[in-house]
Amino acid sequence: MTERHPEGQIVVEQRGPVLLMGVDRVEKRNGFTPRMFRELGEAYTRLENSPDLFVGLLYAKGDHFSGGVDLPLMAEYRKSGTPYVPLQLVDPGQLREPFRKKPVIAAMQGICFTIAIELMLAADVVFAADNCRFSQMEVKRGIMPGYGGSFRFIERAGWGNAMKWLLTGDEFDSAEAYRLGLVQEVVPAGTQFERALAYAQRVAEQAPLAVQATIENARLALGQGWMHAATHATAKNTFLYGTEDAAEGRKSFADKRAAKFVGR
């Protein structure tokens, strides 16, 4: 039996065009460590750079997604301002370039504290088990969200709804997360992984370059406004119309069959 590392690991598995990225430190409620941040960054970088991977699926082993970061192990990083993820890797929190263009789907269950919320808000679509317990509890520890929790909460839920939970750190459930728009679907506990995987596979059936361009354009609109995004969309579509996948899309439509996209 392989010895488990005390600082946990990220279990990576390729399933066709989908990359599964599993948080695995079950004995510590998947509390995040420097090793886990680095390995997750490596997984996101593999997803972004591999031409045969179209979609990522972020999930967790065990009953809980994560109880948060392991504060004793992460304290020096926070004090010094050292990035959780090495700068040469794609940041799962999407706080700096290079920003990923390939979609990431998240499956959540059980305890989802601090970093769990921040990682799911940095994903694109979230499926949550009906037993989730969410909390962005940093104010209870004398700090503030440091991985995107504050501003991404506002993007999804609006100012008042976000502040209701950010200013107390109190827990809320899956139904409230759905009402706030933090998750897109709530499913029975134990089914969240398969539901997220089925959706990820559905996304992977679409034209990969078009999916990536859509994410890139939407992110541009959030950061620089719709006018920048509109200019980008015009130029990007000019490129997309000349790809093999666009030709296949037109032909499959004429032939009344499912398209077979290759990412070119």
- pLDDT tens digits for 94-135? 999 899 999 999 999 999 999 999 999 999 999 999 999 999
The answer to whether 23 and 10 have CB atoms below 8 angstroms apart is yes
Nearest to 129 by CA among 35, 59, 67: 59
Counted residue by residue, the chain has a size of: 264
- pLDDT beyond 80 at 3: no
Could you tell me the pTM of the whole model?
0.93
Q: According to the model, what pLDDT value does residue 1 have?
A: 43
> Any idea what DSSP says for residue 32?
B
Residue 98 to residue 264: CA distance in whole angstroms:
21
Q: Is the pLDDT of residue 75 over 80?
A: no
**Amino acid in position 7:** E
